[in-house]
Amino acid sequence: MRPLYLVPLFSVYPLLVLWTTISMTTGSHETKNAELFHRTYVSSGVLNDPVMVLVLHGDAPFTTPSYQYAIARKIANENNNTIAVGVLRPGYTDMEGNRSKGERGLTTGDNYTVEVLKVIHGLSQELIEKYNPAKVILVGHSGGAAIAANMLTEYSGYYSGALLISCPCDLHPWRIHMKGLQPESNIWDIEVDSPSPIEGIKHIDDETQIGVIHGDHDETVPIALAHNYVEKLRADKKNVDFTILENQGHEIAFDKKVFEIIKTLIE
């Protein structure tokens, strides 16, 4: 049974509308490899030691996520010498019916596992062999941000930077919060095998650039969890910048500040 998150529907639909608008006007290179469906966008001009950006969508309990493709396309359009890849996470189906191999899970933080990290990292390695980028950056929204954060820990030094958008990076308090929103649902009582990003901070390479961006009115992932994660990063002397968007909620993936930070990570 899929969980019913208590978040306003207007916070979900803008992503769907923007994706529909962009996909109608843009072509892309799409790939169905053995594991993960993804769409690749390449900036105009000649590539010379390009930067590669992998974009991971959120848990999407209501929807078939496709907004990661729109984000990737926008990144490629707004930056030079850049390859941006929108990745469909394991077990998910997008709006056009494309599906990635694997288990979607209950979207309760149960699909940030080491096995999921391994599959996404495998795709990253395939793309590196193909495009030979100078560096690789991760961009994740919500659950995708938790995966990105865990990848910085699991594959320390492999990724040059990451932008974590609305991240439930302190997994266990987030799940308790969600149980409080849905006290009648037993799905939050089921234990998960996913590592919590905050618990692996010491393994992150000190040179990795980390951006954390969060809305101060996020009801899905309270901003206190972002504060906790950033404070621990700073205590461990990691390279982190924290941006708070005032009067913004959970669905901030298309905020202009997101793309400004991504540009900084690319440059």
Summarised one tens digit per residue, pLDDT across range 122-144 is 999 999 999 999 999 999 999 99
Domain parsing of the chain, residue ranges: 9-266
- Global pTM? 0.88
CATH class of the region 9-266: alpha beta
Q: What is the pLDDT of residue 30?
A: 57
pLDDT-derived band of residue 35, with 50, 70 and 90 as boundaries?
confident
Summarised one tens digit per residue, pLDDT across range 245-254 is 999 999 999 9
Q: Are 138 and 226 in contact (CB under 8 A)?
A: no
| DSSP assigned state of 137 | E
Q: What is the pLDDT of residue 2?
A: 33
Q: Give the CA count within 13 Å in the CB-facing half-sphere of 224.
A: 5
Give percent of the chain with pLDDT exceeding 70. 87
Q: What is the pLDDT of residue 3?
A: 37
| Chain-centroid distance, C-alpha 73 | 15
Please report, to the nearest 10 degrees, the dihedral formed by the alpha carbons of residues 177, 234, 147, 183 taken in order.
0
Over range 55-81, report the average pLDDT: 97
Residue 1 has pLDDT above 50, yes or no: no
Q: Are 160 and 135 in contact (CB under 8 A)?
A: yes
Strand stretches in the chain, DSSP E: 29-32, 37-42, 51-56, 82-87, 135-141, 161-165, 209-215, 239-245
Encoded tokens for 208: 């990795």
Q: Give the CA count within 13 Å in the CB-facing half-sphere of 98.
A: 19
Instruction: Report the 10 Å Cβ neighbour count for 252.
Output: 20
In Å, the largest CA–CA distance within the chain is 56
Residue 25 has pLDDT above 90, yes or no: no
Alpha-carbon gap, residue 239 to 252, rounded angstroms: 23
- Nearest by Cα to 201 from 150, 162, 159, 242: 150
